[in-house]
Chain A
């Protein structure tokens, strides 16, 4: 009898392994192997031969080339990180705000939700590329598009800047807010998933907590900062990480890596670039995760 009981446990383990086996196979052959290979590629000079490829070890030459020789890569990398630093707080603030808004009861809430999540469905780099190309056709060239965009919106911006400056905000903040307003569509369309996550978090906050707060005489403002915010704070970390990864996914860096590999056929340099890029993202994630996880409240 003892052997059978033991085998029940290992049978469960085997069953579990059977369930994850498709993933495990894919992970080993389509994730882990390419990952290790790409490290090897980044240290070598890769030339494509009929039916395969030839590797020639060159040490850290590719990394040096990516950072010091390539004309644009380090600038693009720094720009992308900069854009990320600006974008993440905007997207986060907007999505938390919108989720709180959509969580309230008002007429037409279902319709509002349906509209607010439309950008999740329609966010497509292909459509964006075709749109800007269509616009370029219309305007003649890209600089004209930029100029017209500036021209069309300049009146609003001037009035906003004046208004905010009158209130007495420092110019750096004014710049940031104005930039956020200028790119409102971009921010809205890249915060769909984050809104969903926050909305799910808000729904899981027990309503009795708000009732108690109300009886104790807390204002709406207080109950937001003392109840809502701490309760959704673990999801802020999740959202920050998701936003960072998402903002990198379609960045110019990815494009540069793609171009290097498939236009100039320099696979080694491309792998080195992608590893530098991975390291930068990893570093950002570790720093952000470390800073935020010390402030997060878990219940």
Chain B
């Protein structure tokens, strides 16, 4: 393989053969020790903050100031998790977020798959120019479109139809889920250009004969796509769905722009420290105006637990799909 070719073939005189073998074996061993040290080191750097959060989540208050404790708490407690869940209003928040993210993800995957297939298999006037425009949507930073998009959805009016019939100025879609739904359904959402690109590369690589056979059997264009092409496109689908789900779940840019008041986890997490400071004294039984401030270390602990609660669904999802994910990206044709 790439750089591990330490067992290279060397023509050597017979009496030296044994020594060379030994030397090769030693260098192999040294190399693999070095490799493990690296892999374990990097894994540790990645996992350490996560372990720290898990440890904090189960730590009792009295363990904060105990310097002899490393990672494993002395007094296990679920109070932190309960309190963080209360501060965040966790379960309704999670249900709401998951519903929203699932719908936008499915819409994105659908519209991007359609567009990718259209660009991969059909030639129509201007198809190449249009595909260059897809790449352009990846390159233009979202902040350039921010103000017009905001004003557009503030008084949403498709081709002036509403004004034509009712005379009013369109509907205010801000703080509803519609802006994200509309952009997702029209393949214009978060990093949609990248997804179209992935699908196009994949469909370009599929053999044309399958489609022709379906066509001869009397299937129309859409039927061929839904019955033949899409079921074969599992790997790019998994990639796109996972990426889209995760990026939408973590997104603060569009959610803060279009629905700053909606109960979504990404928005809630950003305001978590302030809220924890405010709510914890109340939840611990002090009046809202008592002027009592919670111990900042304890607040930090609750914030950490809250962050863990927020990312927990992603980690669980990842545990289930990581195998398909890594395998599929290797075959999904990102490379082309």
Residues of A within 8 A of B (CB): 12-20, 22-27, 29-31, 33-35, 37-38, 41, 46, 48, 51-53, 98, 100-101, 103-106, 108, 110, 112-127, 129-131, 133-138, 140, 184-185, 188-189, 196-197, 199-205, 207, 210, 213-215, 217-221, 223-224, 228, 235, 245, 248-249, 253-254, 257-258, 261-262, 267, 270-271, 274-275, 277-278, 281-282, 285
Contact = CB atoms under 8 A, between A and B. Distances in A.
A134 B133 contact: no
Given A20-B118, A197-B334, A30 B2 contact: no
A255 B155 CA distance: 25
Interface in B282-336: 296-297, 299-300, 303-304, 306-307, 310-311, 314-315, 317-318, 322-323, 325-326, 329-330, 332, 334-335
Contact of B147 (A33, A52, A105, A271): A271
B326 A117 contact: yes
Given A35-B140, A114-B326, A261 B114 contact: no
B141 A277 contact: yes
Given A228-B2, A257-B143, A117 B169 contact: no
- Considering residues A19, A196, A224, which has the most beta carbons from chain B within 10 angstroms of its beta carbon? A19
Contacts of A14: 124
A41 to B, nearest CB: 6
B1 interface: yes
A16 B123 contact: yes
Contacts of B73: none
Contacts of A220: 2-6, 8
B43 interface: yes
A261 B9 contact: no
Top 9 nearest A-B pairs (CB, nearest first) are A16-B122, A26-B186, A19-B118, A34-B148, A124-B250, A51-B169, A134-B303, A20-B118, A13-B124
B273 interface: yes
The SS class assigned to the A binding surface is helix
Contacts of A130: 269-270, 272-273, 303, 306-307
A199 B119 contact: no
Given A27-B188, A51-B169, A131-B307, A215 B115 contact: no
B196 interface: yes
A161 to B, nearest CB: 20
B69 interface: no
B244 interface: no
Given A23-B196, A30-B186, A219-B5, A197 B335 contact: yes
B47 interface: yes
B330 to A, nearest CB: 5
Given A184-B45, A185-B45, A220-B3, A23 B326 contact: no
B316 to A, nearest CB: 11
B141 A19 contact: no
Contacts of A270: 146-147
A22 B306 contact: no
A125 B20 CA distance: 53
Contact of B140 (A125, A129, A188, A278): A278
B144 interface: yes
Nearest to B137: A31
A110 B326 CA distance: 9
B104 interface: no
Contact of A112 (B39, B138, B307): B39
B325 A117 contact: yes
A118 B335 contact: no
A285 B121 contact: no
Nearest to B325: A117
Interface in B110-162: 111-112, 114-115, 117-119, 121-125, 127, 130, 133-134, 137-152, 155, 158
B36 interface: yes
A35 B139 CA distance: 13
Given A52-B169, A113-B326, 10 more contacts: A26-B182, A104-B3, A104-B35, A106-B35, A116-B43, A124-B266, A137-B296, A188-B45, A220-B3, A271-B144
